[in-house]
Structure 1
Protein backbone atom coordinates (compact mmCIF):
# COMPACT_ATOMS: atom_id res chain seq x y z
CA UNK A 1 0.00 0.00 0.00
CA UNK A 2 2.84 2.38 0.82
CA UNK A 3 4.47 1.70 -2.55
CA UNK A 4 1.19 2.52 -4.31
CA UNK A 5 0.85 5.85 -2.51
CA UNK A 6 4.52 6.66 -3.03
CA UNK A 7 4.14 5.88 -6.73
CA UNK A 8 1.12 8.15 -7.02
CA UNK A 9 2.89 10.94 -5.18
CA UNK A 10 6.15 10.72 -7.14
CA UNK A 11 4.28 10.27 -10.44
CA UNK A 12 2.27 13.41 -9.76
CA UNK A 13 5.42 15.30 -8.78
CA UNK A 14 7.19 14.19 -11.95
CA UNK A 15 4.19 15.19 -14.05
CA UNK A 16 4.02 18.60 -12.35
CA UNK A 17 7.69 19.30 -13.04
CA UNK A 18 7.29 18.17 -16.64
CA UNK A 19 4.23 20.37 -17.09
CA UNK A 20 6.10 23.36 -15.65
CA UNK A 21 8.97 22.84 -18.08
CA UNK A 22 7.21 21.80 -21.31
CA UNK A 23 3.46 22.66 -21.16
CA UNK A 24 2.89 19.54 -23.27
CA UNK A 25 0.12 17.18 -22.08
CA UNK A 26 1.63 14.20 -23.92
CA UNK A 27 5.00 14.44 -22.20
CA UNK A 28 3.34 15.20 -18.87
CA UNK A 29 1.23 12.05 -19.06
CA UNK A 30 4.12 9.90 -20.24
CA UNK A 31 6.51 11.03 -17.51
CA UNK A 32 3.88 10.81 -14.76
CA UNK A 33 2.89 7.28 -15.75
CA UNK A 34 6.49 6.16 -16.23
CA UNK A 35 7.49 7.32 -12.76
CA UNK A 36 4.41 5.82 -11.12
CA UNK A 37 4.84 2.44 -12.85
CA UNK A 38 8.56 2.41 -12.08
CA UNK A 39 7.87 2.91 -8.39
CA UNK A 40 5.08 0.31 -8.34
CA UNK A 41 7.14 -2.32 -10.14
CA UNK A 42 10.55 -1.25 -8.86
CA UNK A 43 10.96 -4.18 -6.50
CA UNK A 44 10.23 -6.70 -9.25
CA UNK A 45 12.57 -4.96 -11.67
CA UNK A 46 15.40 -4.74 -9.15
CA UNK A 47 15.03 -8.38 -8.12
CA UNK A 48 15.44 -9.43 -11.76
CA UNK A 49 18.47 -7.18 -12.29
CA UNK A 50 20.27 -8.20 -9.11
Structure 2
Protein backbone atom coordinates (compact mmCIF):
# COMPACT_ATOMS: atom_id res chain seq x y z
CA UNK A 1 0.00 0.00 0.00
CA UNK A 2 2.88 2.39 0.74
CA UNK A 3 4.34 1.69 -2.71
CA UNK A 4 1.02 2.56 -4.33
CA UNK A 5 0.88 5.84 -2.44
CA UNK A 6 4.43 6.71 -3.51
CA UNK A 7 3.64 5.87 -7.14
CA UNK A 8 0.46 7.95 -7.01
CA UNK A 9 2.35 10.86 -5.45
CA UNK A 10 5.07 10.64 -8.13
CA UNK A 11 2.43 10.52 -10.85
CA UNK A 12 0.62 13.59 -9.47
CA UNK A 13 3.92 15.44 -9.18
CA UNK A 14 4.86 14.60 -12.77
CA UNK A 15 1.42 15.64 -14.05
CA UNK A 16 1.65 18.90 -12.09
CA UNK A 17 5.10 19.67 -13.51
CA UNK A 18 3.84 19.00 -17.03
CA UNK A 19 0.85 21.30 -16.48
CA UNK A 20 3.11 24.05 -15.14
CA UNK A 21 5.42 23.68 -18.15
CA UNK A 22 2.51 23.96 -20.62
CA UNK A 23 1.12 26.98 -18.79
CA UNK A 24 4.54 28.66 -18.85
CA UNK A 25 4.78 28.10 -22.60
CA UNK A 26 1.32 29.63 -23.10
CA UNK A 27 2.21 32.66 -20.98
CA UNK A 28 5.44 33.18 -22.91
CA UNK A 29 3.63 32.93 -26.24
CA UNK A 30 0.95 35.37 -25.11
CA UNK A 31 3.59 37.78 -23.78
CA UNK A 32 5.43 37.70 -27.07
CA UNK A 33 2.25 38.58 -28.98
CA UNK A 34 1.36 41.37 -26.57
CA UNK A 35 4.84 42.90 -26.48
CA UNK A 36 4.19 44.63 -29.80
CA UNK A 37 1.47 46.72 -28.10
CA UNK A 38 3.84 48.41 -25.68
CA UNK A 39 5.25 47.92 -22.24
CA UNK A 40 2.19 49.07 -20.28
CA UNK A 41 -0.07 46.60 -22.10
CA UNK A 42 2.49 43.87 -21.61
CA UNK A 43 2.68 44.54 -17.86
CA UNK A 44 -1.11 44.46 -17.52
CA UNK A 45 -1.27 41.21 -19.47
CA UNK A 46 1.46 39.63 -17.35
CA UNK A 47 -0.50 40.45 -14.23
CA UNK A 48 -3.64 38.75 -15.51
CA UNK A 49 -1.76 35.80 -16.98
CA UNK A 50 -0.44 35.01 -13.50
CA UNK A 51 -3.98 34.80 -12.17
* 1:17 is the counterpart of 2:22: no
Larger RCO (alpha carbons 8 Å, 6+ apart): 1
> Aligned equivalents of 1:5 and 1:29: distance in 2?
21
Deviation at 1:26, TM superposition (A): 2.7
Structure 1 unaligned residues grouped into runs of 5+: 39-50
Q: TM-score, normalised by structure 1?
A: 0.50
Per-residue deviation at 1:32? 3.8
Structure 2 gaps of 5+ residues are 1-16
* Alpha carbons of structure 1 residues 3 and 33: separation in structure 2 relative to 1, 3 Å: farther
Alpha-carbon RMSD: 1.8
Which of these two proteins has the greater Rg computed from alpha carbons? 2
